[in-house]
Amino acid sequence: MATSNPVLRYAESRKNLTGCLCGLAGLGIGLTGAAGGLWPLVVLGLYGAGALIAPPERPDAPAFPSAGEQLESLRADHATLREYLAEVELPEDARTRLDELDALVEALLEPGWVSDPEHLRVLARTVRQDVPEAVDAFVRTRWWTRVNPGSEPPERHLERQLAALREEAGRIAAALQEAEELRQRAHTRYLEDRGT
């Protein structure tokens, strides 16, 4: 347990504890009479030697969330995103594309599928950044096109963005499928080889 008081921190340190053990050994030498009248110097010398040879203190490694914890957090964020998307009015084609993307992301976020850090990063970016940004930009741009008609419909950009995100999530699904197929083939080969 780390403390902020430097005196207490040193008292709990490896150097002090090792020095104390060596100092106790020096006290034992002094009690046997082997050190004579110099026993205090022997105790101090052994304490100092023990403190010098003790391994240095090292800070604890940072504890980052595991893949499972990241996945749970991402699933919670996905639920929040779904609540937001349910309130947004979208054209039918964009809503269809969004529903397809949402269904694929939901399947990928099921426990036990995605554990690769890169796949988690892509899904996190999709849920936390890309989809909300695409929908929000559509809503804002749609308002301006109502005020100033004649420009390119914002639905086209939203549909293209959702298609690109769907393709990116599809690559993750394809990689997972390929990994499972390899695993299945390897197990088949193992069972067949075991029989011979």
| Residues in Cβ contact with 20 at an 8 Å cutoff, skipping those fewer than 6 apart | 47, 50
Across residues 132-153, what is the average pLDDT? 81
Percent with pLDDT over 90 in the chain: 52
Q: Model confidence over 4-50: pLDDT tens digits?
A: 788 888 888 888 889 999 999 988 888 888 878 888 898 899 899 98
| Residues in Cβ contact with 109 at an 8 Å cutoff, skipping those fewer than 6 apart | 71, 74, 75, 78, 123
Residue 196, pLDDT score: 67
Distance, C-alpha 48 to centroid of its chain: 43
Residue 146, pLDDT score: 66
The closest of 95, 90, 86, 92 to 139, measured between CA atoms, is 90
Burial status of residue 141 (CB atoms within 10 A of its CB: 0-12, 13-18, 19 or more)? middle
Please give the single-letter amino acid code of residue 192.
Answer: E
Is pLDDT of 1 > 60?
A: no
Say what the pTM is. Answer: 0.65
Identify the band that residue 3 occupies on the pLDDT scale cut at 50, 70 and 90.
low
Percent with pLDDT over 70 in the chain: 95
Residue 178: C-alpha distances to residues 108, 120, 123, 145, 191 (Å):
14, 17, 18, 44, 20
What value does the mean pLDDT of the chain take? 88
Residue 171, pLDDT score: 95
Is pLDDT of 123 > 90?
A: yes
